[in-house]
Each structure stands twice: as C-alpha cells, then as structure tokens.
C-alpha cells in the first residue's frame, strides 16, 4: 500500500484515498473527446499517484485540489492536451456551479421556461394546490378524485396543444423528438402523441436510440462499480446522426441491437429500417435535443417536444418542491417494479442523472418547440404513502457517510417533504393510461 491513505474533500471531510477515483476522472475526460482506453487511464492515474506520494510530506493529508492539479499536469506532460482540456473545463464548470450555489445568485436561469412556469403556477393557484398546506386541505375534504381529474385534464390539454403544433408543420417535418430528463414521462407521452398523430393520418416509425449504447465495458464507471448510462457519451451519437440523415435521404440503415442483459450489442439481432415518403421518425430519448445527435438534420425538419414535471407547489419550508425529487421517486418505483432494481441503488446513482441533466439536457430546454408539464399534484400523497419510510431510513443511513453526501442530502430533503403531506393509499381513481401509471404500475398502455 502507498503512503497516501486519506484525502481531504472541499467540505473538510477526511475520506479514504482511492486511486480508482483518479482513473475514473481521467477516463471520463477521455470519453468526452472520444477516447475509450481504460488501461491508459489507469497508467496515467498511477503517475498521478506517484507524484502525489513524492510531493506529500510525511504525516500530511493531501486535499482534492492538489490531486486535480496533478491530474492536469500528468495529462499535459503525456501529450493528452484534448483530454486535459475536457478535464479542466469540467473542473471549472463544477467550481462555477459551487460559487453560484454559495452566493445564492437570484438572477433568473436561462434553463427555466419561465412563460410555461407562470402558466403552471397560475393553474396551481386556481386549483388550490400551489402549497402543501392547500393540497392537504383538499385531501382532508375528500377531494382526491377531483384533484386527479383536474391534473389529468391539464396534462391532456398540453398533449393536444403539442399535436396541433405538429400537425401545422406536417408538410415539413421528418423527425419528431420527444425528450426530457429521466422519469419525466416520455414513454407514456410518446404513446399518446403517437396515437393522436396516427388518428390524423400521420404514419410514425420509431427509432430506439437505446440500441446505440456502446458496449458496457466502454462506459465510464465509479469506484463502486456503477456505470454511467446517463451521459450522451454512453451512446454512439455520430452513428445516430448519420442514420437519421440517411433515413431522411431515403436510404436504408441497419439499426444495431443492444442487449441490456449482456451489456453488449448483438449483431445477429440488428434490423433493417427505411423511411417511406409519408412517414415520420419518432424518437423518445433523454438526449433528443443534444445538438450532435441530429446535427445533419435541417432545423425545419425537426419538431422538439420537451417534458418535465413542472410542479408548482410550495412545501412547508416555503421552498418549491423540486422537480428532480419527483422524478427520483418515479424512477425508484419504476426501477423496483419493472427492472428489479433496488431503490437505494437508484438514489446512489442519481448524482450521475443530475450531473448529465445539468450539462446536456436542461441547457436546451428553451430550444424546444413545445413543453408539456407531466407533473400531477396528486402524486405527492401517493408517494408519501409508498416511500416516506424508505427515505427516512436512507437519510439516517447516509447521514455520517462522507462518500454518500449527495444521497443523504436528497434522502433527507425528500423525507421531510413526504412527512409534511397527508398520505393516501387509494389509487383506484388514477386513470389506467395516466403518465403516473408508467411509474406506479397498473397501466393499460403497452410499453
């Protein structure tokens, strides 16, 4: 064992030193610029460790900033300028994000669709669900079925608005992209939009970009063995772009098949695909608005539909319920019921989800042609019934773990929120085709 056994985090917490974290950081930066040589990343990390040990006086614990400085030095001195640039840019981005949080900057974010938010807030006020207290009052009066009806009606108005906007451009369009962050309700909304468009005579052909994942051994992962499927770099973006452009030109393509059980593409299960003159390509993807994915497709031929649970409800702490927390709960429920995935693992993985959203999804929200609010205020009492106990346990388990502070922060925040909401376990009034059914189960739609 080397002489470095601990490091000091920015928070001042002292945690065990692990060279694997350096390897992962270097490999992630390499993936950003198209490199996927894990062994090289390991060799470079060993050089960083050697320098760190040589420069750290006996008995002194190095800090994270020192290690990051050495990573930059090793990358540049070994001729990996592009990887070093990617690493430096990401480090700078995180530093700026921390400063913004510390300063609590109040200026409006360009990542927020303010006009849509005001519309959703106005609706929430009119239906007395703009605060947890107001929601609880309606629940206590037995108005849960009415809240369901009102929420579903608002969502369906958004869907119809999107369909009308698509129909108006039907002569130009070749691709419809339905996008949004994890668990925003893309699958249900895609089915609903698709059904309505087919009723209008538009024929749709779906291209599943999940088949374009790189083999699992090429994905970045952390020291816990958790792979990052959330970054667009986990997908063969250049191939998706080429295939879309080819389809629009009338050419036939061979769509790969990605087997999630093996973590590899299976060439024997690839399929041929072509686009007829009267067909539109329908894409449901996290990264549908990530520019490189459709860069060779003219803007006028694309319709970009963005989803987000834009809930406008204030908690008892006078802070609005966070959309990311709603999606975290949704994904936990779906992963547990449909993918046999431990909800606690979903919580531990969520920092990857959020990091990728902030870098690759949210910056493009205002580039969309239409925004659908998929939040249902009646979700909250359902989740309070189902998940409060678990979040309370997770918050306690992670409270003193410096390596899981992100998980603790989220678990503690959600536990406090759910504890403030009057729980309801009666889900019979939730429509079988509701977007919420995508996560809690019982849907009549075929996913």
Asked if 206 and 199 touch (Cβ cutoff 8 Å), the reply is: no
Q: How much is the pLDDT for 1? A: 45
pLDDT level of residue 104 (50, 70, 90 thresholds) = very low
- Distance, in Å, from the CA atom of 278 to the CA atom of 258, rounded to the nearest integer, reads 28
Residue 345 has pLDDT above 50, yes or no: yes
Q: How confident is the model at residue 344 (pLDDT cuts 50, 70, 90)?
A: very high
Q: How confident is the model at residue 121 (pLDDT cuts 50, 70, 90)?
A: very high
Q: What is the pLDDT of residues 56-99, one digit of tens each?
A: 888 888 888 888 888 888 888 898 888 877 777 766 666 665 55
Helices (H), 141-260: 144-168, 186-199, 237-248
What are the residue ranges spanned by the domains of the chain?
A: 6-103, 114-440
Give the pLDDT of residue 383. 98
For residue 208, pLDDT beyond 70: yes
- Residues 260, 282: Cα–Cα separation, whole Å: 22
Q: Which CATH architecture has domain 114-440?
A: 3-Layer(aba) Sandwich (3.40)
User: Considering the entire predicted model, what is its pTM?
Assistant: 0.77
CA distance 201 to 167: 10
Q: What angle do the packed helices 379-398 and 343-356 form, to 10 degrees? A: 100
State percent of the chain over pLDDT 70.
Answer: 92
Cα separation, 417 vs 14, whole angstroms? 30
């Amino acid at each position: 064992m080397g002489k470095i056994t601990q490091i000091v985090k920015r928070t001042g917490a002292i945690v065990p030193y692990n060279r694997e974290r350096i390897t992962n950081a270097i490999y992630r930066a390499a993936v950003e610029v198209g490199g996927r040589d894990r062994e090289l990343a390991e060799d470079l990390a060993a050089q960083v460790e050697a320098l760190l040990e040589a420069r750290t006086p006996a008995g002194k614990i190095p800090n994270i900033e020192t290690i990051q400085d050495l990573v930059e030095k090793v990358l540049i001195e070994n001729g990996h300028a592009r990887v070093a640039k990617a690493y430096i840019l990401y480090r700078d981005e995180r530093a700026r994000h921390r400063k913004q949080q510390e300063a609590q900057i109040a200026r409006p974010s360009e990542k927020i669709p303010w006009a849509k938010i005001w519309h959703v807030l106005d609706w929430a006020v009119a239906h007395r669900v703009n605060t947890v207290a107001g929601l609880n009052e309606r629940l206590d009066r037995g108005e849960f079925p009415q809240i369901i009806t009102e929420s579903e009606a608002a969502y369906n108005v958004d869907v119809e608005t999107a369909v009308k906007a698509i129909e108006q451009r039907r002569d130009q369009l070749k691709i419809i992209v339905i996008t949004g962050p994890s668990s925003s309700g893309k699958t249900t909304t895609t089915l609903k939009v698709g059904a309505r468009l087919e009723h209008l005579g538009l024929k749709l052909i779906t291209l599943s970009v999940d088949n374009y994942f790189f083999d699992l051994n090429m994905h970045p992962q952390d020291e816990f063995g958790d792979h990052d499927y959330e970054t667009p770099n986990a997908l063969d973006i250049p191939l998706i772009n080429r295939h879309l452009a080819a389809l629009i030109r009338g050419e036939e393509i061979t769509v790969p098949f990605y087997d999630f059980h093996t973590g590899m593409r299976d060439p024997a299960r690839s399929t041929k695909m072509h686009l007829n003159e009267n067909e539109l390509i329908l894409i449901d993807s996290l990264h549908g608005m990530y520019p490189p994915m459709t860069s060779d497709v003219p803007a006028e031929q694309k319709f970009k539909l963005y989803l987000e649970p834009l809930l406008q409800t204030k908690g008892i702490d006078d802070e609005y319920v966070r959309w990311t927390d709603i999606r975290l709960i949704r994904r936990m429920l779906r992963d547990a019921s449909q993918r046999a995935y431990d909800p606690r693992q979903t919580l531990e993985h969520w920092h990857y989800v959020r990091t990728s959203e902030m870098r690759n999804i949210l910056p493009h929200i205002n580039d969309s042609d239409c925004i659908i609010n998929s939040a249902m205020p009646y979700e909250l009492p359902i989740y309070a019934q189902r998940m409060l106990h678990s979040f309370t346990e997770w918050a306690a388990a992670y409270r003193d773990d410096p390596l899981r502070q992100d998980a603790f922060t989220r678990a503690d925040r959600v536990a406090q929120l759910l504890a403030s909401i009057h729980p309801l376990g009666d889900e019979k009034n939730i429509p079988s085709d509701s977007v919420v059914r995508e996560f809690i189960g019982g849907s009549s739609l075929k996913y």
